[in-house]
A and B are shown apart, each in its own frame.
Chain A
Amino acid sequence: MPVGVLALQGDFEKHRQMLQQIEVESVPVRYPQDLDDCSGLIIPGGESTTLTKQMKYAGIREPLLEFAADKPVFGTCAGLIMMADTVDDSRVEPLGLLALSVLRNGWGRQVHSSTERIPLSFSDEVPFRAIFIRAPVITDTGTSVTVLAHYRNQPVLVTDGRHLACTFHPELGDDFRIHEYFKRLMNV
């Protein structure tokens, strides 16, 4: 079964291109029924206020919560914000898939966006080149959450064994390790 990539707004095409390079089939998800044939779902980067609106309009919130009860979801940046259980901003209505508290734009505006080298706990190879774009900051994690990478002592890549989320954008680079980690979570 293919992986779904939520295609309501954001850089969903970048995720699909990266999945193609690691030989994982993907489909765009814009309607609730699109989830039926998916083995997992990626929520891409974008604007979390827009994703909140568009998820409601698409009627996809409830189906997505049911889907996530037994299938893995991977969120990057705004995707991570949507997966958190607490967000500092009432304009965003997160799904609560991961025990995370999140601060939107925690590093500031675009001039503070940057590329950083961060070690991955599951890989002995070179550090990962992580691209942070107006990135959120994880301010707290629940006991169910394992941190797979840190930047400046803050968690930036986390999992609870089923779901995966990061505050940066692996889909914008050319290092497949994090998408491959998600592939293993899906057993595809």
Chain B
Amino acid sequence: MKKETFDVKIGLAEMLKGGVIMDVTNAEQAKIAEEAGAVAVMALERIPAQIRKDGGIARMSNPTMIRQIQEAVSIPVMAKCRIGHFAEAQILEALEVDFIDESEVLTPADEANHIWKHDFKVPFVCGCRDLGEALRRIGEGAAMIRTKGEAGSGNIVEAVRHMRRVQSGIKELTLLDRAELMARAKSLGAPFQLVQQVAESGRLPVPNFAAGGIATPADASLMMQLGAETVFVGSGIFMSEDPQARAAAIVQAVTYYDDPKKLAEISAGLKDAMKGIDMAEIPEGQRLQERGW
């Protein structure tokens, strides 16, 4: 029974492949995202760039706003809860959101434990910076993994770092012999059975998406070429000068990610992307990716 429930959770993640999931803060933006071809929307009160600017505690979105977005669009609606805040997750499940993002973009509620996600019928996505973190979240029941990147930065460098770490971690595992896997599981801090499974299959047991800093069609292409199966775009769309056109362009860029001529055509005519932040301008301790473990 447990396997069947997990199959149904991963099934929805499979359906989102080759698509773009967009952050939206109201029904109007949700419609723009759907019209542009988004496969899902992430309902949140403030986009990460705004959360970063405003400071304070970032919490689960207001249920009224989530309902309005659910009514406005036909595509899956995701919402974020704080790391470890299983009561927020229970409320999001009661609202029948299609996916819950246990997200470092919100202020963590538990610094030691993430949510035990197997208890829920709604699938979860979680962020990671490397293979060990990805496998810990899968062990807790995440049905989809995304890179953390650095949300709200408009800077792709951290998403690239995290995706490369995950991919090289997987490649390394496939080269080890069986006797070496337990020691590797120990150094990764990851469940042994999952380590074994990745070593045999050469891939994560759940879909692997990219998030955190994607602002242009070229950024989307880069992440897909590095092994992402779908991209999340947060601040990149609604902080730009042309949200509608940019959203549609990023959708097309994910489908034609390996066709540079097409990408040139797709990127031509877009106005300015969001300004973005150099990582050196974000002091250690204020990086969202450091939340969770």
Are A and B co-members of a single complex?
A: yes
Q: How far is the CA of A89 from the CA of B73 in the complex (A)?
A: 11
Say yes or no: A49 contacts B37, CB within 8 Å.
Answer: yes
How would residues 106 to 118 of chain B score, 1 for a CB under 8 Å from any chain A CB and 0 otherwise?
0000000000000
A9:B255 contact, CB within 8 angstroms:
yes
The distance in angstroms between the C-alpha atoms of A10 and B256, with both chains bound, is 14
Is the Cβ of A30 less than 8 Å from the Cβ of B256? Answer: yes
Contact B17 A10 (CB under 8 A): yes
> CB within 8 A of A91: which of B74, B76, B122, B252?
B74
A54 to B248, CA, bound (A): 10
| A82 is an interface residue with CB less than 8 A from chain B | no
Which of A89, A134, A172 sits near B76, CB closer than 8 Å? Answer: A134
Q: B39 — nearest CB in chain A belongs to which residue?
A: A47
The answer to whether B121 touches A111, judged by C-beta atoms less than 8 angstroms apart, is yes
Contact between chains at B17 and A9 (CB < 8 Å):
yes
Residues in B with CB closer than 8 Å to A91 are 34, 74
- Chain B neighbourhood of A45, CB < 8 A: 14-15
Is A128's beta carbon under 8 Å from chain B? no
Q: Given A50, A58, A114, A132, which contacts B19 in the complex, CB threshold below 8 Å?
A: A50
Contacts of A53 in B (CB 8 A): 36-37, 248, 251
With CB as the reference atom, state the residue of chain B lying closest to A44. Answer: B15
Residues of chain B within 8 A of A8, CB atoms compared: 18, 255
Q: What does DSSP make chain A's interface, helix, strand, loop or mixed?
A: loop
Say yes or no for A63: interface residue by CB 8 A criterion: no
B8 in contact (CB, < 8 A): yes
The stretch that binds B, out of A32-40, A101-109, A146-154, is A101-109
Query: B7: which A residues are within 8 A, CB to CB?
Result: 115, 131, 172-173
Asked if residues A30 and B255 are in contact (CB atoms below 8 Å), the reply is yes
Complex formed: what's the CA distance from A78 to B251 in Å?
17
Would you call A54 and B75 a contact (CB within 8 A)? Answer: no
A186 at the interface (CB under 8 A from B): no
B160 to chain A, nearest CB (A): 23
Is the pair B121, A46 in contact by a Cβ cutoff of 8 Å?
A: no
CA distance A108 to B12 in the complex (A): 13
**Which one, A11-19, A65-73, A118-126, A155-163, is touching chain B?**
A11-19
Establish whether residues A110 and B74, one from each chain, have CB atoms under 8 Å apart when the complex forms: no
Residue A41 at the chain B interface, CB threshold 8 Å: no
CB distance from B7 to the nearest CB of A (A): 6
Q: How far is the CA of A53 from the CA of B150 in the complex (A)?
A: 30
Residues of chain B within 8 A (CB-CB) of A132 are 8
Counting CB contacts under 8 A, is B96 at the interface? yes
For chain A residues 42-91, which have a beta carbon within 8 Å of chain B?
45-47, 49-50, 53-54, 57-58, 77-78, 89, 91
Which 9 residue pairs across A and B have the least CB separation, nearest first? A53-B37, A110-B98, A11-B14, A9-B18, A133-B11, A115-B4, A109-B96, A47-B39, A50-B37
Supply 16 A–B pairs (Cβ within 8 Å), ascending by A.
A9-B39, A10-B17, A13-B17, A14-B14, A46-B19, A47-B39, A49-B75, A50-B75, A78-B15, A109-B70, A109-B98, A110-B12, A111-B96, A111-B122, A131-B11, A134-B12
Q: Report A's interface with B, CB cutoff 8 A.
A: 7-14, 30, 45-47, 49-50, 53-54, 57-58, 77-78, 89, 91, 104-105, 108-111, 113-115, 131-134, 169, 172-173
